[in-house]
Amino acid sequence: MNLVSTIRALGPIDAKNVARDPLLRWVLVFGLLIGLALRLGVPPLPEYLEATYQFDLTAYYVLIMSTCLLFVPALVGTVVGFLLLDQRDDRTLDALQVTPLTVTGYLWYRIATPMLLSVALTPVVLLIANLVSLDAPLLVLMSLVAAPFAALMALAIASLAQNKVQGFALSKASGLVTMPPIVAYFVAGKWQFAFGLVPTYWPVKAYWSAAAGGSEFWIYLAIATVYQGVLLVVLARHFRRVVSR
Protein backbone atom coordinates (compact mmCIF):
# COMPACT_ATOMS: atom_id res chain seq x y z
CA MET A 1 0.00 0.00 0.00
CA ASN A 2 1.55 3.32 -1.09
CA LEU A 3 1.52 6.57 0.84
CA VAL A 4 -1.44 8.03 -1.05
CA SER A 5 -3.56 4.95 -0.35
CA THR A 6 -2.47 5.04 3.28
CA ILE A 7 -3.55 8.67 3.62
CA ARG A 8 -6.91 7.83 2.05
CA ALA A 9 -7.39 4.93 4.46
CA LEU A 10 -6.21 6.51 7.71
CA GLY A 11 -6.80 10.21 7.05
CA PRO A 12 -10.58 10.14 7.64
CA ILE A 13 -10.07 8.16 10.85
CA ASP A 14 -7.61 10.74 12.17
CA ALA A 15 -9.94 13.57 11.15
CA LYS A 16 -12.76 11.99 13.16
CA ASN A 17 -10.49 11.55 16.18
CA VAL A 18 -9.45 15.20 16.06
CA ALA A 19 -13.06 16.35 15.60
CA ARG A 20 -14.14 14.22 18.57
CA ASP A 21 -11.46 15.60 20.91
CA PRO A 22 -12.13 19.31 21.67
CA LEU A 23 -8.59 19.88 22.93
CA LEU A 24 -6.97 18.62 19.73
CA ARG A 25 -9.51 20.51 17.64
CA TRP A 26 -8.77 23.81 19.34
CA VAL A 27 -5.02 23.31 19.13
CA LEU A 28 -5.26 23.49 15.34
CA VAL A 29 -7.64 26.47 15.41
CA PHE A 30 -5.31 28.21 17.85
CA GLY A 31 -2.66 28.57 15.15
CA LEU A 32 -5.02 30.58 12.97
CA LEU A 33 -6.09 32.68 15.95
CA ILE A 34 -2.45 33.52 16.67
CA GLY A 35 -2.03 34.79 13.12
CA LEU A 36 -5.16 36.90 13.45
CA ALA A 37 -4.07 38.25 16.85
CA LEU A 38 -0.73 39.32 15.40
CA ARG A 39 -2.42 40.95 12.42
CA LEU A 40 -4.82 42.97 14.55
CA GLY A 41 -2.90 43.41 17.79
CA VAL A 42 0.70 44.18 16.85
CA PRO A 43 0.52 47.03 14.26
CA PRO A 44 -1.10 49.53 16.68
CA LEU A 45 1.65 48.99 19.28
CA PRO A 46 4.84 50.45 17.71
CA GLU A 47 3.68 54.08 17.78
CA TYR A 48 2.64 53.82 21.43
CA LEU A 49 5.80 52.00 22.52
CA GLU A 50 8.01 54.43 20.63
CA ALA A 51 6.33 57.46 22.17
CA THR A 52 6.12 56.06 25.69
CA TYR A 53 9.23 53.91 26.08
CA GLN A 54 11.36 54.80 23.03
CA PHE A 55 11.13 51.14 22.04
CA ASP A 56 11.02 50.23 18.35
CA LEU A 57 8.87 47.12 18.10
CA THR A 58 9.10 47.01 14.31
CA ALA A 59 12.75 45.99 14.63
CA TYR A 60 11.50 42.70 16.07
CA TYR A 61 8.83 41.90 13.51
CA VAL A 62 11.15 39.42 11.81
CA LEU A 63 11.75 37.67 15.12
CA ILE A 64 8.01 37.48 15.82
CA MET A 65 7.24 36.04 12.40
CA SER A 66 10.09 33.54 12.52
CA THR A 67 8.73 32.32 15.84
CA CYS A 68 5.42 31.63 14.08
CA LEU A 69 7.38 29.55 11.59
CA LEU A 70 8.12 27.13 14.45
CA PHE A 71 4.93 27.63 16.42
CA VAL A 72 2.61 26.18 13.80
CA PRO A 73 4.61 22.95 13.24
CA ALA A 74 4.84 22.55 17.01
CA LEU A 75 1.04 22.74 17.29
CA VAL A 76 0.48 20.30 14.44
CA GLY A 77 3.11 17.93 15.78
CA THR A 78 1.45 17.99 19.19
CA VAL A 79 -1.93 17.01 17.73
CA VAL A 80 -0.49 14.16 15.66
CA GLY A 81 1.68 13.07 18.59
CA PHE A 82 -1.38 12.60 20.78
CA LEU A 83 -3.14 10.69 18.01
CA LEU A 84 -0.10 8.42 17.87
CA LEU A 85 -0.18 7.97 21.63
CA ASP A 86 -3.82 6.91 21.48
CA GLN A 87 -3.23 4.46 18.66
CA ARG A 88 -0.13 3.08 20.32
CA ASP A 89 -2.08 2.45 23.53
CA ASP A 90 -4.92 0.89 21.53
CA ARG A 91 -2.41 -1.48 19.90
CA THR A 92 -3.41 -0.26 16.46
CA LEU A 93 -0.15 -1.51 15.03
CA ASP A 94 -1.02 -5.04 16.09
CA ALA A 95 -4.09 -4.84 13.87
CA LEU A 96 -1.90 -3.81 10.94
CA GLN A 97 -0.51 -7.32 10.81
CA VAL A 98 -3.69 -8.52 9.08
CA THR A 99 -3.98 -5.57 6.67
CA PRO A 100 -2.09 -4.63 3.50
CA LEU A 101 -0.59 -1.68 5.40
CA THR A 102 2.89 -2.42 6.73
CA VAL A 103 4.46 -0.89 9.81
CA THR A 104 6.85 0.96 7.52
CA GLY A 105 3.95 2.35 5.51
CA TYR A 106 2.20 3.41 8.69
CA LEU A 107 5.37 5.11 9.90
CA TRP A 108 5.76 6.99 6.61
CA TYR A 109 2.17 8.12 6.93
CA ARG A 110 2.79 9.35 10.46
CA ILE A 111 5.82 11.32 9.30
CA ALA A 112 4.11 12.73 6.22
CA THR A 113 0.83 13.76 7.86
CA PRO A 114 2.13 16.42 10.28
CA MET A 115 4.50 17.73 7.63
CA LEU A 116 1.72 18.13 5.06
CA LEU A 117 -0.58 19.77 7.60
CA SER A 118 2.21 22.10 8.66
CA VAL A 119 3.03 23.08 5.07
CA ALA A 120 -0.65 23.83 4.47
CA LEU A 121 -1.22 25.79 7.67
CA THR A 122 2.04 27.69 8.24
CA PRO A 123 1.91 29.94 5.14
CA VAL A 124 -1.71 30.77 5.94
CA VAL A 125 -0.82 31.88 9.47
CA LEU A 126 2.17 33.89 8.21
CA LEU A 127 0.07 35.56 5.52
CA ILE A 128 -2.66 36.39 8.03
CA ALA A 129 -0.14 37.92 10.44
CA ASN A 130 1.63 39.74 7.58
CA LEU A 131 4.12 41.63 9.77
CA VAL A 132 6.98 40.97 7.34
CA SER A 133 6.59 41.15 3.59
CA LEU A 134 7.88 38.01 1.88
CA ASP A 135 6.77 36.61 -1.45
CA ALA A 136 4.25 33.78 -1.17
CA PRO A 137 6.56 31.23 -2.89
CA LEU A 138 9.28 32.07 -0.39
CA LEU A 139 6.85 31.65 2.50
CA VAL A 140 5.89 28.22 1.18
CA LEU A 141 9.57 27.30 0.85
CA MET A 142 10.26 28.37 4.44
CA SER A 143 7.22 26.42 5.59
CA LEU A 144 8.46 23.31 3.77
CA VAL A 145 11.78 23.45 5.58
CA ALA A 146 10.15 24.08 8.97
CA ALA A 147 7.63 21.25 8.44
CA PRO A 148 9.91 18.40 9.61
CA PHE A 149 9.74 19.93 13.09
CA ALA A 150 6.08 18.88 13.19
CA ALA A 151 7.02 15.27 12.47
CA LEU A 152 9.85 15.44 15.02
CA MET A 153 7.40 16.69 17.65
CA ALA A 154 4.88 13.98 16.84
CA LEU A 155 7.43 11.16 16.97
CA ALA A 156 9.03 12.52 20.14
CA ILE A 157 5.70 12.62 21.97
CA ALA A 158 4.63 9.20 20.69
CA SER A 159 7.90 7.42 21.40
CA LEU A 160 9.07 9.10 24.61
CA ALA A 161 5.78 9.62 26.49
CA GLN A 162 4.12 6.74 28.31
CA ASN A 163 0.72 8.43 28.53
CA LYS A 164 -1.08 11.69 27.75
CA VAL A 165 0.12 13.34 30.96
CA GLN A 166 3.71 12.78 29.93
CA GLY A 167 2.74 13.82 26.42
CA PHE A 168 1.54 17.19 27.69
CA ALA A 169 4.77 17.58 29.65
CA LEU A 170 6.80 16.84 26.53
CA SER A 171 4.79 19.28 24.44
CA LYS A 172 5.48 21.99 27.01
CA ALA A 173 9.14 21.02 27.04
CA SER A 174 9.25 21.81 23.33
CA GLY A 175 10.21 25.27 24.50
CA LEU A 176 13.67 23.83 25.06
CA VAL A 177 14.10 23.63 21.29
CA THR A 178 12.02 26.66 20.28
CA MET A 179 13.56 29.16 22.70
CA PRO A 180 17.24 28.91 21.60
CA PRO A 181 16.58 30.45 18.16
CA ILE A 182 14.89 33.39 19.88
CA VAL A 183 17.92 33.86 22.10
CA ALA A 184 20.20 33.48 19.07
CA TYR A 185 18.55 36.50 17.46
CA PHE A 186 20.24 38.70 20.06
CA VAL A 187 23.66 37.10 19.66
CA ALA A 188 25.92 38.85 17.20
CA GLY A 189 28.60 37.43 14.95
CA LYS A 190 29.74 33.87 14.55
CA TRP A 191 28.79 32.99 18.12
CA GLN A 192 25.21 32.80 16.92
CA PHE A 193 26.00 29.63 14.98
CA ALA A 194 26.58 27.82 18.27
CA PHE A 195 22.80 27.63 18.46
CA GLY A 196 22.91 25.52 15.31
CA LEU A 197 23.14 22.47 17.54
CA VAL A 198 19.40 22.97 18.00
CA PRO A 199 17.58 21.89 14.81
CA THR A 200 15.00 24.65 15.03
CA TYR A 201 17.70 27.28 14.60
CA TRP A 202 18.30 26.64 10.90
CA PRO A 203 14.77 27.20 9.51
CA VAL A 204 14.54 30.38 11.58
CA LYS A 205 17.98 31.52 10.44
CA ALA A 206 16.90 30.97 6.84
CA TYR A 207 13.84 33.14 7.45
CA TRP A 208 15.95 35.94 8.95
CA SER A 209 18.29 35.82 5.98
CA ALA A 210 15.46 35.85 3.42
CA ALA A 211 13.71 38.71 5.21
CA ALA A 212 16.96 40.69 5.11
CA GLY A 213 17.27 40.07 1.38
CA GLY A 214 20.29 37.81 1.72
CA SER A 215 21.03 35.02 -0.73
CA GLU A 216 22.71 32.72 1.79
CA PHE A 217 19.33 31.57 3.09
CA TRP A 218 19.65 28.66 0.64
CA ILE A 219 22.58 27.36 2.67
CA TYR A 220 20.57 27.50 5.87
CA LEU A 221 17.64 25.78 4.18
CA ALA A 222 19.92 22.95 3.06
CA ILE A 223 21.41 22.53 6.54
CA ALA A 224 17.94 22.54 8.09
CA THR A 225 16.71 19.88 5.68
CA VAL A 226 19.66 17.53 6.24
CA TYR A 227 19.82 18.00 10.01
CA GLN A 228 16.12 17.45 10.58
CA GLY A 229 16.15 14.53 8.17
CA VAL A 230 18.82 12.77 10.21
CA LEU A 231 16.87 13.38 13.42
CA LEU A 232 13.70 12.04 11.79
CA VAL A 233 15.46 8.80 10.90
CA VAL A 234 16.72 8.43 14.47
CA LEU A 235 13.32 9.11 16.04
CA ALA A 236 11.50 6.91 13.52
CA ARG A 237 13.74 3.98 14.39
CA HIS A 238 13.18 4.59 18.08
CA PHE A 239 9.42 4.72 17.53
CA ARG A 240 9.52 1.38 15.71
CA ARG A 241 11.34 -0.16 18.65
CA VAL A 242 8.77 1.26 21.07
CA VAL A 243 5.75 -0.05 19.19
CA SER A 244 7.39 -3.44 18.69
CA ARG A 245 7.71 -4.10 22.41
What proportions of the chain, in percent to the nearest 5, are helix, strand and coil? 85, 0, 15
Residues in the chain: 245
Q: Which residues, other chains included, contact 80 with Cβ-Cβ below 8 Å and sequence gap of 6+?
A: 14, 110, 113, 114, 117, 150, 151, 153, 154
pLDDT in tens, 126-169: 999 999 988 888 999 999 999 999 999 999 888 888 777 788 88
Cβ atoms of 157 and 170 within 8 Å: the answer is yes
**Reported pTM:** 0.87
Query: Tell me: the pLDDT tens digits for 21-58?
Result: 666 667 668 888 999 999 999 999 999 999 999 999 99
Q: Which residue has the higher pLDDT, 237 or 15?
A: 237
Confidence grade of residue 9 (pLDDT, cut at 50, 70, 90): low
Q: In the chain, what percentage of residues exceed pLDDT 70?
A: 83
Q: What is the mean pLDDT of the chain?
A: 85
